[in-house]
Chains A and B, each alone.
Chain A
């Protein structure tokens, strides 16, 4: 038993955290006189459209919407995971996402380009701008040894206000939204909408798949990725070994910010056809922290945990319609983060219990 646990620790630990998170959610629902069954029903319905009352077993529209919500969260998960591998904590994915989304909106409205090229240009710009925004924190860390956590927190709020300012001042904007995009810029697809029974599922998924492959390839298969990991393990050691530690820090933040910027662009161009002017964070970036940690910082892990957190998001309105406060989903996801943070303690506990089992 203990051997099995030690071998698959990377998979078992996150699963335990998810289980405990759902348990906390269920207990809180029970304590407040609501049925946890309804919460799980809503999660199931969010996944597949399953609805026992109406004898619907599969409705691809729900599945499509579930993917729509998962895509940006997977991307921010990749963003935080990538920086974490270099020993950097990127709390700034939220702001990088907004900057990426903003630049995509600007290009979608102001720059006339032929279709196909238009969204690609917008995506590349989102990667670069999100990356540069994050690279500010990387540069300050490398040059002045200023802690990236504080800088990225501050950059989040600066991004929020910068984004609002820019979008409000685009031609045709009102207080809540910008003008419609030029039709060439969209990532929406009639074909994908049709096969998912009318959901907003869009070409953004190709970007997500490419990003997952890029993440895996860079981290696992290149010397660049290896030197990033070495920097993360032991900065002084890496410097002693002749690695360009400072450059690695800036580059790692740039790529991390690029992933988050793409998340913003996918949402902006795929889910909507106008830019939204929002006054507070939507927490896609913060969910990314949970996704990266639950996914054990590897590409496939982040894919699956991103899907899990996407599900917790898309199921929220479904919970509300069953008279369960939708915020229970937020409680579940933040509890999962706490349990992931407690991993060391949980590990000691499990090892103790399993050892006792061996003795008796």
Chain B
């Protein structure tokens, strides 16, 4: 039992950026644009957050606690700006969404390391004094077992992610905006005939995905790392994509699958401590989310899950 209590905080920490980036992917895909550039956007967000944090904390003790949060805000903006490339190329110019998403992933690696060399004279950012501070949640931390595992000495960003799940669910399913967004991802021509601007909704979807993924990248670097390097995000953007698919393009599904993937990634660290798993190679746990996603895709294949028009270039004339 004690090992679960030790694993849980780490699982939640790892699950948080997966959850937020997957929510970003949800907005984009629900509007009808596949965004495989989540990984790249996370890199840009992570780099921005780390850079701003380092620069603000530098020789300024007053800023140490607040700087990471300012870093996260700038990461959101940077993510949205960076994703606008994807929006413009794939929505306005009607290009292949996979190509432009791939271009974002490639560009992010080059751009962030290039800027790191300009700003810090090295292939990575400088180390920040302190990332996001952990805290104890009053009252809740006194609940037996759960209090210790979930609410004691924990990153507040975990709760940000959970809150975003609820907020996203509300906006997508309970508001007029959400209905319009979803209609653009299911049957854009029909949405258009009802007076919804498909282009506008898709732009909003993609820019939101950029903002979310930027935030996710920022949180990831400021909770799991001491600086931004080109390996900081190491495929979590693609795990987010997996979580989106495995979660059947629903906020509740994303919540559960992100926790699941966070836990399975953590298992790889703890595997030597767990007797019945210790014979399993580490690599098995690293590869696990990807295998599960392929299996899930096969299981879902004859049901209708996921936005029908996602990935399709919008053509007003099509019936």
Contacts and interface: CB of A to CB of B under 8 A. Distances in A.
Interface of A: 28, 32, 89, 91, 140, 144-147, 149-151, 153-155, 157-158, 160-162, 164-165, 279-280, 283, 286, 289-290, 293, 325, 327-331, 333-335, 337-338, 340-345
B102 A286 contact: yes
Highest count of chain B CB atoms <10 Å: which of A158, A162, A329: A158
B274 to A, nearest CB: 19
A336 to B, nearest CB: 9
B103 A154 contact: no
Contact of A344 (B95, B110, B114, B242): B95
B117 A154 contact: no
Given A330-B109, A338-B89, A341-B100, A146 B298 contact: yes
B297 A289 contact: no
A161 B43 CA distance: 22
Given A337-B102, A341-B95, A345-B95, 17 more contacts: A91-B102, A160-B287, A161-B287, A165-B284, A283-B106, A290-B106, A293-B99, A325-B114, A325-B117, A325-B118, A328-B110, A331-B107, A333-B106, A338-B89, A338-B103, A341-B90, A343-B95
B85 A338 contact: yes
Nearest to A325: B117
Contacts of B193: none
- Closest 8 CB pairs between A and B? A330-B110, A334-B106, A334-B107, A325-B117, A144-B301, A345-B93, A154-B290, A161-B283
Main SS at interface, chain A: helix
B192 interface: no
A66 B220 CA distance: 37
Contact of A144 (B281, B283, B291, B297): B297
A112 B261 CA distance: 42
Nearest to A153: B238
Contacts of A89: 96, 98
A344 B107 contact: no
A280 B111 contact: no
A162 B288 CA distance: 11
Interface in B68-117: 85, 89-90, 92-96, 98-100, 102-103, 105-107, 109-111, 113-114, 117
B297 A342 contact: no
Contacts of B200: none
Highest count of chain B CB atoms <10 Å: which of A89, A157, A289, A340: A157
Given A327-B117, A341-B96, A157 B89 contact: no
A150 B298 CA distance: 12
A28 to B, nearest CB: 7
Interface in B178-209: none
B293 interface: yes
A77 B111 CA distance: 23
A49 to B, nearest CB: 25
Contacts of A28: 114
B103 A153 contact: no
Main SS at interface, chain B: helix
A289 B113 contact: no
A333 B108 CA distance: 12
A89 B98 CA distance: 8
Nearest to A137: B294
A327 B98 contact: no
Nearest to B112: A327
A330 B301 contact: no
A334 B103 contact: yes
Contacts of B113: 325, 327, 330
B234 interface: yes
A164 B283 contact: yes
Nearest to A154: B290
B99 A161 contact: no
A32 B120 CA distance: 13
Contact of B93 (A149, A337, A344): A344
28 contacts: A91-B102, A140-B294, A147-B297, A147-B311, A149-B98, A154-B290, A157-B286, A157-B287, A158-B291, A165-B281, A280-B231, A280-B234, A325-B113, A327-B109, A327-B111, A330-B109, A330-B114, A331-B114, A333-B110, A334-B106, A335-B107, A337-B106, A338-B100, A341-B93, A341-B96, A344-B94, A345-B93, A345-B95
B195 to A, nearest CB: 27
A162 B105 contact: no
A337 B290 contact: no
Interface string B222-235: 00000000010011
B234 A338 contact: no
Contacts of B215: none
A150 B239 CA distance: 11
Nearest to A286: B106
Nearest to B292: A154
B36 interface: yes
A330 B106 contact: yes
Contacts of B105: 286
A341 B242 contact: no
Given A280-B231, A334-B106, A327 B114 contact: yes
B203 to A, nearest CB: 16
Contact of A158 (B85, B96, B287, B297): B287
